[in-house]
């Protein structure tokens, strides 16, 4: 059992419930991650690996932008995780989504082009 915040109705912080949740073991192509830093995103350490997962190993630190991160541990699809180098999980959780959003906007949506003039 792990602890998780669950919300069953609309409202303020008072509707959040701290509950015991059974998450089980990872299935094929899934991993179990112990969250180290959460918000709307999460950074955690891989604690178990399901069958068919080759890119990650137990002990790897991973980043994800996924639903259900308000929990001590969770089961997620391995191919949706981004492996991280040794870096402070709090830093990653606080700046990663802003950085990825800026990159997307500059390179995909807005297609910013530099115009240089040399005098």
Does 106 score more than 90 pLDDT? no
Work out the number of other CB atoms within 10 angstroms of the CB of residue 2: 15
The domain spans of the chain are 24-109
What mean pLDDT is predicted for residues 2-16?
Answer: 95
Closest C-alpha to 66, from 50, 42, 101? 42
Tell which wins on pLDDT, 75 or 65: 75
- Rounded Cα distance between 77 and 99, Å, is 23
pLDDT digits (tens, 9 = 90+) for 26-64: 999 999 999 998 878 889 999 999 999 999 999 999 998
| Domain 24-109 -> CATH class | alpha beta
- Rounded Cα distance between 66 and 64, Å, is 6
Tell which wins on pLDDT, 94 or 61: 61
Distances 113 to 64, 98, 104, 116 between C-alpha atoms, Å:
30, 21, 14, 10
- % pLDDT > 70, the chain: 92
pTM for the whole structure:
0.77
């Amino acid at each position: 059992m792990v602890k998780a915040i669950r919300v069953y109705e609309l409202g303020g912080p008072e509707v959040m419930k701290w509950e015991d949740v059974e998450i089980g073991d990872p299935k094929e192509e899934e991993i179990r991650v112990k969250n180290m830093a959460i918000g709307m995103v999460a950074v955690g350490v891989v604690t178990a690996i399901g069958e068919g997962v080759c890119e990650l190993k137990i002990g790897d630190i991973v980043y994800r932008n996924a639903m259900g991160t308000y929990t001590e541990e969770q089961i997620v699809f391995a191919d949706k995780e981004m492996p991280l180098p040794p870096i402070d999980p709090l830093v990653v959780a606080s700046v990663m989504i802003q950085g990825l959003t800026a990159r997307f906007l500059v390179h995909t949506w807005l297609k910013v082009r530099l115009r240089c003039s040399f005098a």
